[in-house]
């Protein structure tokens, strides 16, 4: 942990690493058969981050919290851009892909804002659209993935803004 984390101050790199760890959860790739691709990893980051980001829009969040979420948003996209460059993408390709990724994030965010209002089939369709599987889509995997994100969304909506900004995102999913 960094010095800032020990002092309970906001550190976007620590929070990014927590979101990254959530999106790299072994369970997603083994139990739910999510394909381990660059695009899937980014989409999983976006879905996890969307539920956290939505908290910044709720009542009771002050300007300091919103500025911290903006820093995290910027940091996530900077990290994705750097990763793309490390993978050998050129400037033109990175710029084109970043525009696509920003649009993708906002599409995911718009859906997640009303996540609780959607029925099971809508959630399955949403997740199958953004997360590709190693195996043909089956009901059990789809239901488990929806259950995972149902529980993650509920977990995030119950968090206080201070807990999020202090990196207290100890989400542990138990397979049903």
Averaged confidence pLDDT in the chain: 85
The answer as to whether 174 is a domain residue is no
CA atoms within 13 A on the CB side of 111: 20
The answer as to whether 175 is a domain residue is no
- State the average pLDDT over residues 26-54: 92
Place of tokens 């043909």: 136
- State the average pLDDT over residues 57-79: 78
Global confidence as pTM: 0.86
pLDDT at 158 > cutoff 50: yes
Please state the domain count of the chain: 1
pLDDT in tens, 71-111: 888 999 999 999 999 989 888 989 999 999 999 999 999 99
Domain that holds residue 47: 9-165
- DSSP-assigned letters across all residues of 64-132: HHHHHHHHHHHHHHHHHHHHHHHTT--HHHHHHHHHHHHHHHHHHHHHHHTGGGS-HHHHHHHHHHHS-
**Which token pair is 134?**
């190693």
pLDDT in tens, 111-151: 999 999 999 999 999 999 999 987 776 777 788 899 999 99
């Amino acid at each position: 942990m960094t010095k800032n984390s020990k002092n309970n101050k906001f550190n976007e790199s620590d929070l990014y690493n927590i979101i990254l760890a959530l999106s790299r959860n072994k369970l997603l790739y083994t139990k739910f058969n999510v394909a381990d691709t660059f695009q899937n990893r980014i989409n999983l980051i976006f879905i996890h981050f969307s539920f956290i980001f939505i908290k910044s829009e709720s009542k009771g969040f002050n300007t300091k919290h919103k500025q911290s979420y903006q820093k995290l948003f910027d940091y996530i996209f900077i990290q994705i851009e750097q990763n793309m460059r490390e993978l050998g993408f050129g400037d033109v390709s990175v710029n084109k892909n970043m525009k696509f990724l920003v649009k993708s994030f906002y599409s995911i965010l718009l859906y997640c804002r009303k996540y609780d209002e959607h029925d099971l089939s809508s959630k399955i369709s949403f997740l199958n659209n953004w997360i590709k599987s190693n195996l043909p889509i089956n009901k059990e995997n789809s239901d488990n993935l929806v259950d995972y994100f149902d529980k993650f969304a509920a977990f995030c909506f119950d968090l206080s803004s201070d807990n999020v900004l202090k990196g207290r995102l100890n989400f542990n999913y138990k397979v049903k």
